[in-house]
Structures are given as C-alpha cells and as structure tokens.
C-alpha cells in the first residue's frame, strides 16, 4: 500500500539553529502534502498545505518565514524550522493523499520529534 | 471553534468493557475518516465512511456515519489493552483535511 516516510524520526538541536524535516511519498505521487504539529496529549493542528511547484499555503497564526516549506518534486516536501526555539519543540507530522477527493483518506508519515534545547 | 468535535475527551475503562466515542460537526462532510494514533507515531487509518447512515465493522470496532453526514460514532466491543490510543476523526473541509481534537482511550488490564 501507499506509504509516507519522514526523516529524521527525531532530532535535537540547539536554540537558534535550523532544522530540516523531509516528507516523502514512497510509491505514489503527491501534488499536495500537509504539515501538522502536535503538542503532547493534543490533537494534530494543520500548519500548512504544501503544493508541488508553488508556494505553500499557511494556516492563520503560522509564521511562513519561520516554517519554510519546499515541495520540489511530486514525492518530496521539506519543512525547515528556522532559528528554532524551545517552544518549537513538538511532534511534526506530514501527510499526503493519493487523490484529493473526499473518499481518499490521508496517509500519514510516522512523525518527527523535534526537541530544541 | 473546531469544525469537528469529539467526545469524550478522555476515557479510561477496564478490559472487556464496551465503549462509544463520538465525532460531531455543524457542517456536512462528504466523508469522515477515523484514525488511531499511538504515542510517538503517526495516525493510522481505521476506516472511511462515505454514505449517510453507513455502518462499517472492523473486527470489534463498529463505525457509523450519521444520516445527515454531520456526525459519526465508533463503538468498541470488549475493549482490550491494545485498543489504547488517541482516536481521531477527520475529513475534508474544502481543500483542507481537518482533525477533531481526539478521544484519548486507556484500557486497563
């Protein structure tokens, strides 16, 4: 079946540095991928919609200059957390849909746990 | 304001008990999905319901989509410790895929 991978699965970085997280669709092409963040014991909050070949669409309250999204190919989207701070520590999850219709569920990556010290 | 509301927020039960969790919205959804998420992992799809009134069964799990396609329920029969996790309902709203806040289930042995 369709699989979405994320790399790295966890990362620890120092405050002020930047971290890149990759999201790949392994056996299908995804023109659109979604990025979520999840704080402990909370649900997933949509951060942005990543569109292949064009700019990402950010949700209200998400700083586009801080969370840089690049969707360079039909199988890869990257999220770069720039100048990370401890409050950016979270679980980041991406998802992709084989087709953007209401009957096709999202396929999620395994998540990336970011800890900023 | 959440597009999708879920209740209860937390549920702790003993092994063998039955339970039902709910997903509600004031908006009509073309379909709803249910996911289970375990700590440190991404959500895993359990089922998609598309037709109003639809009932789907997955072993001990029974999913129902409301007639008006504004709500859904998940019923678990004879819960087991392996059912422990965060249960999320989700669906497309416009171009965005939105999640409910989840029900955190704990099944004690």
Structure confidence at residue A93 (pLDDT): 96
Residue A13 has pLDDT above 60, yes or no: yes
CB contact under 8 A, A103 and B30: yes
Q: Is A111 exposed, middle or buried (0-12, 13-18, 19+ CB in 10 A)?
A: buried
Give B8-14's long-range contacts (Cβ < 8 A, gap of 24+). B8/B103, B9/B101, B9/B102, B9/B103, B9/B104, B10/B103, B10/B104, B10/B106, B11/B103, B11/B104, B11/B105, B11/B106, B12/B105, B12/B106, B12/B108, B13/B79, B13/B105, B13/B106, B13/B107, B13/B108, B14/B107, B14/B108
**Which residue of chain B comes nearest to A48, CA vs CA?**
B96
- Is the pLDDT score of A9 beyond 90? yes
Task: Say if residue A116's pLDDT is above 90.
Answer: yes
Has residue A102 got a pLDDT over 60?
A: no
Contacts of B96 in chain A (CB under 8 A): 34, 46, 49
- The reply to whether residue A111 touches residue B100, judged by beta carbons under 8 angstroms, is no
Tell me whether residues A102 and B90 touch, CB distance under 8 A: no
Least confident of A8-17, A96-105, B40-49, B69-78: A96-105
Q: Is the pLDDT of residue A5 over 90?
A: yes
pLDDT in tens, A75-93: 999 999 999 999 999 999 9
Over residues A34-78, the pLDDT tens digits come to 999 999 888 888 899 888 888 899 999 999 999 999 998 899 999
| Degrees to nearest 5, angle at CA A33 with B24 and A115 | 90
Those residues of chain A whose CB sits closer than 8 Å to some CB in chain B are 4, 6, 32, 34, 36, 41-44, 46, 49, 91, 93, 95, 97, 100, 102-103, 105-111, 113
* Cα B28–Cα A91–Cα B62 angle in degrees, nearest 5: 40
- Low-confidence residues in chain B, pLDDT < 70: 1
Inter-chain CB pairs, A–B, below 8 Å: 61
Confidence at residue B9, expressed as pLDDT on a 0 to 100 scale: 94
Report the pLDDT value the prediction gives residue B30, as an integer from 0 to 100.
Answer: 87
Q: What residues pair up with A58 in beta bridges, in sequence order?
A: A48
A22-27: average pLDDT: 93
For B45-64, the pLDDT digits (tens) are 999 999 999 999 999 999 99
Assess B85–A contact: CB distance below 8 Å, yes or no: no
State the pLDDT at residue A51: 85
- pLDDT computed for residue A100 by the predictor: 63
pLDDT at A21: 98
Predicted confidence (pLDDT) at residue A105 exceeds the cutoff of 80: no
Shortest CA distance to A38 belongs to which of B10, B79, B37, B89? B37
């Amino acid at each position: 079946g369709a699989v979405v991978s994320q790399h790295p699965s966890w990362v620890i970085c120092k405050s002020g540095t930047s971290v890149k997280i990759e999201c790949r669709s392994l056996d299908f092409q995804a023109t659109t991928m979604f990025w979520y963040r999840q704080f402990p014991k909370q649900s997933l909050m949509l951060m942005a919609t990543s569109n292949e070949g064009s700019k990402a669409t950010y949700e209200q309250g998400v700083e586009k200059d801080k969370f840089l999204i690049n969707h360079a190919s039909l199988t890869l989207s990257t999220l770069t957390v720039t100048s990370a701070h401890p409050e950016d520590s979270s679980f980041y999850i991406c998802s992709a849909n084989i087709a953007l219709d209401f009957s096709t569920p999202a396929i999620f990556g395994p998540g990336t746990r970011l800890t900023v010290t | 304001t959440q597009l999708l509301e879920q209740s209860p927020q937390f549920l702790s039960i003993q092994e063998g008990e039955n339970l039902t969790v709910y997903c509600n919205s004031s908006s009509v959804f073309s379909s709803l999905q249910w996911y289970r998420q375990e700590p440190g992992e991404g959500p895993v799809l359990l089922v998609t319901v598309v037709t109003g009134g639809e009932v789907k069964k997955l072993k001990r799990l029974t999913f129902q989509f409301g007639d008006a396609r504004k709500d859904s329920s998940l019923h678990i029969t004879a819960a087991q410790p392996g059912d422990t996790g965060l249960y999320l309902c989700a669906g497309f709203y416009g171009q965005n895929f939105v999640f409910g806040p989840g029900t955190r289930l704990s099944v004690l042995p």
